[in-house]
Amino acid sequence: MGIVMGPNQYGKAEVRLVAVDRSTPRHRIKDLTVSSALRGELDPAHLTGDNSKVLPTDTQKNTVFAFAREAPVGEIEDFALRLGKHFTSTADGITGARILIDEHAWERIQVDGAGHDHSFSRGGDEKRTTAVTFDGEHAHVVSGLRDLVVLKSTGSEFHGYPKDRYTTLAETSDRVLATAVTARWRYSSTDVDWAKSFESVRARLLAAFAETHSYALQQTLYEMGKAVLHEHPEIAEVRLSLPNKHHFAVDLQFCGLDNANEVFHAADRPYGLIEGIVTRDEAEPQPAAWYSIDEF
């Protein structure tokens, strides 16, 4: 029985880059977490310790900072495309690259009703994301968002499920539905107005969550993905990972009180995890675009 080296990639994970655009007195901030991963002629490195094709992860990290200095960072998709193109076209033996970027939001501090020029507050946990993959000739762009926490206080039911001797869950025709949305969507080209597309997809996801009368989070997931594909011809598929953030109505009979769906215990774990891919039937699958992306 032989032993061989299988697929591999390597790079610098989670470079924390903050770039301040000081070109006008009204500063702008880009706060990013950037990970690079390279592939190519790396068997010798693994098999014999020959590092002649191993562009150090330290150099990869330096490149991220230098690129932010040499030109404005711009949209995360464009920054990732620039980095990926650089690594695959300049590093000897490197034929593939994956650049992951999470963008952390900052909002201007409001002073006397106006946004301050150079003072900011963190805009919550939500992150805008991109995963750009250079796969030989092609660049795939998968953009998305993480930790978009949403809740609806009615308009959600869950019943009709099979019961067995282990079932205790009561059927309900009115419950709280809450989740922290992770969504990633694959573009079919790189000729896209990234910021405009992102804002519109986010709005479609939120509207579908709000407007779907839900019989299960699975059904809401499909409606959210469908709403995006309906509005966005530039997107081929949407992948969603939706933790069901359970809200259990508390039984208050112990002190003689009823509870008409007003008082809940927000349990943080365990949680149901509902995941799925919504795709156009004519879309050609591109597994390389998704390789080793965390949730999928």
Ligand X SMILES: O=c1[nH]c(=O)c2[nH]c(=O)[nH]c2[nH]1
Query: Which residue positions form the known binding site for urate?
Result: 57-58, 158, 175, 218, 244
Between 56 and 272, whose beta carbon lies closer to ligand X? 272
Interface with ligand X (CB under 6 A) = 158, 169, 216-218, 244, 272
Name the strands in the sheet holding 28-40, side by side, starting at the edge strand that comes first in the sequence. 15-21, 28-40, 94-111, 114-135, 138-152, 177-187, 235-244, 272-279
Least spacing, CB of residue 272 vs ligand X, in Å? 5
List the catalytic residue out of 27, 46, 53, 57.
57
Task: Give catalytic status of residue 27 as yes or no.
Answer: no
Nearest residue to 190 via CA among 236, 228, 237, 139: 139
- Least distance to ligand X, CB of residue 220, Å: 8
| Beta carbon of residue 181, minimum distance to ligand X (angstroms, whole number) | 14
Assess whether 104 carries a catalytic annotation: no
Give the CB-nearest residue to ligand X. 217
- Judging by DSSP bridges, how do beta strands 272-279 and 235-244 pair with one another? antiparallel
CB of 273 to ligand X, least distance (A): 9
Q: Which is nearer to ligand X, 8 or 172 (CB)?
A: 172
Quote the CA–CA distance of 272 and 246 in Å, as a whole number: 8
Q: Which residue has the tokens 């409606």?
A: 223
Catalytic residue chosen out of the listed positions 12, 30, 140, 247: 12
Q: Which tokens is 140 given?
A: 């795939």
12 is catalytic: yes
Q: What is the dihedral of CA 68, 97, 239, 128, to 10 degrees?
A: -10
Closer to ligand X by CB, 263 or 273: give it. 273
| Residue set of the binding site | 57-58, 158, 175, 218, 244
Please say which residue, 208 or 217, places its beta carbon nearer to ligand X: 217
Choose between 41 and 295: whose C-beta lies nearer to ligand X.
295
Shortest CB 94 distance to ligand X, Å:
43
Active site residues: 12, 57, 246
